[in-house]
Structure 1
Amino acid sequence: MKRVFLLASAIMMLSFLVVDPISKKERNYAAKFLKETEKGVKDQIRGLSEAQLKFKPAPDSWSIEECVKHIAASEEMFWQMMEGTVKSPANPEKRGEIGMTDDQLIQAIGDRSTKVKTNEKLMPENLKYKDTDEAFESFKKDRDKLMEYVKGTKDELRNHVATTPVGMLDSYQLILFTAAHTNRHTQQIMEVKADPNFPK
């Protein structure tokens, strides 16, 4: 009887050691951030005319349509990067090389006062989408896939660290980066709409 009691106690102790790879708070925060930033794009482009979608404040500026195409292509690329990172062996020893907290990362990516030249492959003129609708549908498809992943993943996101253009990030931060990047270009869309010459 004593052995049975000890065995039951050991099983109970082990069950407490099986923890979620990310906390409930982290999971909910990422899911909410992804949902909000998807809605942000949708709200900003809803009801716009062809002239409004293609308007450029300056010859070297992006139109709203080009912003959406860039968002869509980036979403696909970020998903592939994140998926590749979690499929690679865990490397928690690299966590010490991460230079930003989650909040600092979101603030840095969302800061439009710092201009960043994008990867040549993600320039609007090099992308496959024929129009805004096609680009947004692609974005939504990848975003839905990422949101489902966040809600149910058992991957140890904090223990898979990758090298990115902004430094070392763990896989959870790659998800936050994805949403923050969407927010960055939603702000850009809003800037285009605020231009005094924006078609009425």
Structure 2
Amino acid sequence: MKNFKTLLFTQALILCGLTVFAQNSLTKEEKNTAINHLKQSQNELLVAVKDLTEAQLNYKSSEEVWSIAETMEHIAIAEKNIFGIVEMTLKADPDPSKRSEVMMSDEQVLALITSRDQKVKTRPEFEPTNSFGSYTGSLDAFKAQRKSNMVFVKKTKEDLRNRYFDFPFGKVDAYQVVLFMSGHTQRHMKQIVEIIKSDSFPKA
């Protein structure tokens, strides 16, 4: 009987060990890094668009490019849709066996998405279509979603490092999707700055 109880106890420990291995929460440092980046990219965006006039918000150098208002709508749409990827990854159990398939570091993911060297055509569901009714509606939607996303990062106990998503450029973990989302904001903040600095941009 003693040996049987010992066997059961050992098996319980093994099961607990597997559970701990399969479900690792983010470290405090990882959470702080993500939250700080999310705050930084939001602040940079808000500074870039501060006090712009209606004419400036809607200025387009050609019909083929987005205005600042359209860019803001795209950012708000992306904030919701990219975080939806994180939510989608949570439907699957953590899988440490795929960890080696993640080839890019956090820094490389951020560098890739924030770079404006290579232009990328967005998917149809990310296209601006006045879905929030106005520039102010887009801005408010972005800020509300960003606030919700930061609360999630702060409070989550989910294992984001062993859940994954396949972007066209490769497999990333769910934590990197959060960083990608923040970097996406920075990418388009740079686009807004480029518009503002153009020679034909309205003075007021």
Scaled to the shorter chain, the TM-score interval is: 0.7 to 0.9
1:5-84 mapped onto 2 (5 Å cutoff) = 21-84=25-88
Deviation at 1:131, TM superposition (A): 1.4
Deviation at 1:99, TM superposition (A): 2.2
Q: Which residue of 2 aligns with 1:3?
A: none
Moved beyond 4 Å, runs of 4+: 17-20
Q: Which residue of 2 aligns with 1:123?
A: 127
What is the letter of the counterpart of residue 71 of structure 2? C
1:81-120 mapped onto 2 (5 Å cutoff) = 81-120=85-124
Deviation by residue 1:14-44 (Cα, 9 ceiling, x = unmatched): 9xx8996122211111000001111111111
| 42-51 vs 187-196, greater mean Cα deviation | 42-51
Structure 2 residue 175 is the aligned partner of structure 1 residue 176? no
What is the letter of the counterpart of residue 157 of structure 2? K
Q: Which residue of 1 aligns with 2:168?
A: 165
Please give the alpha-carbon distance, in whole angstroms, between the structure 2 residues aligned to 1:20 and 1:95: 13
Please give the alpha-carbon distance, in whole angstroms, between the structure 2 residues aligned to 1:42 and 1:112: 19
Q: CA RMSD in A?
A: 1.9
What is the letter of the counterpart of residue 163 of structure 2? H
Deviation at 1:163, TM superposition (A): 1.5
Q: Which residue of 1 aligns with 2:136?
A: 133
Aligned residues: 185
Deviation by residue 1:67-104 (Cα, 9 ceiling, x = unmatched): 10000000110111101102322122222211211000
| 159-168 vs 71-80, greater mean Cα deviation | 159-168
Partner of 1:169: helix, strand, or coil?
A: strand
Contact 2:34 2:179 in 1 (8 A): yes
Contact 1:163 1:169 in 2 (8 A): yes
What is the letter of the counterpart of residue 68 of structure 2? I
Please give the alpha-carbon distance, in whole angstroms, between the structure 1 residues aligned to 2:69 and 2:30: 32
Deviation by residue 1:142-196 (Cα, 9 ceiling, x = unmatched): 1111101111110011011122233211010000000000000000000000001
Contact 2:24 2:158 in 1 (8 A): no
Deviation by residue 1:109-139 (Cα, 9 ceiling, x = unmatched): 01101111100111113x5122111001111
Normalising by structure 2, report the TM-score: 0.85
Normalising by structure 1, report the TM-score: 0.87
| 112-121 vs 19-28, greater mean Cα deviation | 19-28
Q: Which residue of 1 aligns with 2:4?
A: none
Q: Which residue of 2 aligns with 1:197?
A: 200
What is the letter of the counterpart of residue 29 of structure 1? T
Partner of 1:158: helix, strand, or coil?
A: coil
Partner of 2:116: helix, strand, or coil?
A: coil
Gaps of 5+ in 2: 1-16
User: How high is the sequence identity, in percent, across the aligned residues?
Assistant: 35
